[in-house]
Chains A and B, each alone.
Chain A
Amino acid sequence: AQSVTQPDIHITVSEGASLELRCNYSYGATPYLFWYVQSPGQGLQLLLKYFSGDTLVQGIKGFEAEFKRSQSSFNLRKPSVHWSDAAEYFCAVARQGAQKLVFGQGTRLTINP
């Protein structure tokens, strides 16, 4: 069965600093990979997704993520965070052809002014 691990429950960075959120997955083949963001009191919004091809994917709001098969990782990055990036971030995996999204436990991002 697929599983997703986000090792960092809570991360605090200063506004303008760079950001990397970690995600590791467990799955036998190459899965579909996703990053979602949840602002307080809101639903989830897709930031970016990886299916195949170029291992560096660009998303909305200046985010990018890199798929590394050898490390079973799909880390999310942003070169310079803004106060509005404070939110909960979820990594998710889906088996190709399957409907089910399996989510990691989330990483809460706090931005210091």
Chain B
Amino acid sequence: DTAVSQTPKYLVTQMGNDKSIKCEQNLGHDTMYWYKQDSKKFLKIMFSYNNKELIINETVPNRFSPKSPDKAHLNLHINSLELGDSAVYFCASSQDGGGYYEQYFGPGTRLTVT
């Protein structure tokens, strides 16, 4: 019973390609997030959605487009991939977005752009 799942776990692709990462949570949470963890393990929020509505967009290049078809899913589509996009991408969810509730993280998707 995985609470927050992501697919794929690993993604290797070439510069210029377009790719998507999918995230699903079965916790009934209202808020979902995407984080990027760089090679130095630094974690930074990219987006958050509350009930399918975009709440946070942290000056992420518009090549990154999140999509939330329903509140259990938050997918991340990346256009024209660049070398600097190589990172581990984590999806997370929480009961609501007020900071009070624990964020549950998925296992991560390691993206390698060659």
Cβ of B34 under 8 Å from chain A: no
* Chain A positions within 8 Å of B4 at CB level: 43
Check if A46 sits within 8 Å of B103, measured CB to CB: yes
CB B52 to nearest CB in A, in angstroms, measures 15
Nearest Cβ on chain B to A58's Cβ, whole angstroms: 15
Are A106 and B99 in contact (CB-based, < 8 A)? no
**Residues in B whose Cβ lies below 8 Å from that of A15:** none
Say which size band chain A's interface belongs to: 20 to 34
Task: Let me know if B99 and A97 touch, CB within 8 A.
Answer: yes
**Contacts A43-B90, A88-B41, A105-B40 known; A98 to B99 CB distance under 8 Å?**
yes
Interface pair B90/A105, CB less than 8 Å apart: no
Q: How many A-B residue pairs have CB under 8 A?
A: 65
Interface residues of A (CB under 8 A from B): 32, 36, 41-46, 49, 51, 88, 90, 94-103, 105-106, 108
A36 to B37, CA, bound (A): 14
A51 and B100 contacting across the interface, CB-CB below 8 Å: yes
- Is there a chain A Cβ closer than 8 Å to B55's Cβ? yes
Q: Are B102 and A49 in contact (CB under 8 A)?
A: yes
List 10 A-B pairs, Cβ < 8 Å: A42-B107, A46-B102, A88-B41, A96-B99, A98-B99, A99-B31, A99-B33, A99-B55, A100-B58, A105-B40
Compute how far the CA of A99 lies from the CA of B73 in the bound complex, rounded to whole angstroms: 18
CA separation between A98 and B48, bound complex, in Å?
11
Partner of B48, one of A51, A95, A100: A100
Indicate if B56 sits at the interface (CB-CB under 8 A). yes
Across the A-B interface, give the 5 residue pairs with the lowest CB-CB distance, nearest first. A43-B105, A99-B97, A94-B99, A103-B43, A44-B105
A108 to B60, CA, bound (A): 27
Instruction: Give Cα A96 to B4, complex, Å.
Output: 24
A45 pairs with B105, CB closer than 8 A: yes
Q: Which of B31, B55, B98 contacts A97 (CB 8 A)?
A: B98
Chain A contacts for B107, CB-based, 8 A? 41-43
Given contacts A94-B99, A98-B98, A99-B56, contact A106 B106 (CB under 8 A): no
Q: How far is the CA of A9 from the CA of B15 in the complex (A)?
A: 32
Contact residue among A99, A100, A103 (Cβ-Cβ distance under 8 Å from B42): A103
